[in-house]
Structure 1
Amino acid sequence: MMTSQSGAVPALFTAAVERGTFTLRRARQGDLPRILALLADDQLGAARESADDLVPYERAFDAIDADPAHLLVVGELDGDVVATFQLSYIPSLSRKGSWRAQIEAVRVSEVLRGQGVGALMIQWAIDQARERGCSLVQLTTDKSRVSAHRFYERLGFVASHEGMKLTL
Structure 2
Amino acid sequence: MGFSQLTFREAKLDDLDKIVFMLADDMLGQKRERYTQPLLESYIEAFQSIDADPNIELIVACDQEEAVGVLQLTMTPFLTHQGGWRALIEGVRTALTHRGKGIGTMLIKRAIQHASDRGCHMIQLTTDKQRPDARRFYEKLGFEATHDGMKLQLPHE
TM-score (norm 1): 0.87
Q: Matches of residues 1-80 of structure 1 in structure 2 within 5 Å? A: 17-52=1-36, 53-80=39-66
CA distance in 2, matches of 1:66, 1:124: 21
CA distance in 1 between counterparts of 2:51 and 2:137 reads: 28
- Aligned residues of 2:24 and 2:35 also touching (Cα < 8 A): no
The Cα of 1:18 is off from its aligned counterpart by 3.5
What residue identity is the alignment partner of 1:92?
F
Give aligned-pair identity as a percent.
47
Whole-Å Cα distance in 2 between the matches of residues 67 and 163 of structure 1?
25
The structure 1 segments of at least 4 consecutive aligned residues displaced by more than 6 Å after TM superposition are none
Shift of 1:98: 0.6
Which residue identity does 1:36 align to in structure 2? V
Which ranges of structure 1 fall in alignment gaps of 5 or more residues? Answer: 1-16
Q: How far 1:20 moved relative to its partner?
A: 1.4
- Asked which structure has the greater RCO (Cα within 8 Å, sep 6+), the reply is 2
Q: Distance in 1 between matches of 2:96 and 2:147?
A: 28
> Pick from 69, 82, 103: which aligns with 1:96?
82
Give the distance between the partners of 2:124 and 2:44, measured in 1 at CA. Answer: 26
Matches within 5 A, 1:124-163: 124-163=110-149
Answer yes or no: is the 8 Å Cα contact 2:57–2:72 preserved in 1: yes
Q: State the Cα RMSD in Å.
A: 1.1
1:109 to 81, 90, 95: 95
The amino acid of 2:15's aligned partner reads D
TM-score (norm 2): 0.93
User: How far apart are residue 54 of structure 1 and its match?
Assistant: 2.3
Q: Note if 1:81 corresponds to 2:67.
A: yes
Give the gaps of 5 or more residues in structure 2: none
Matched residues, number:
152
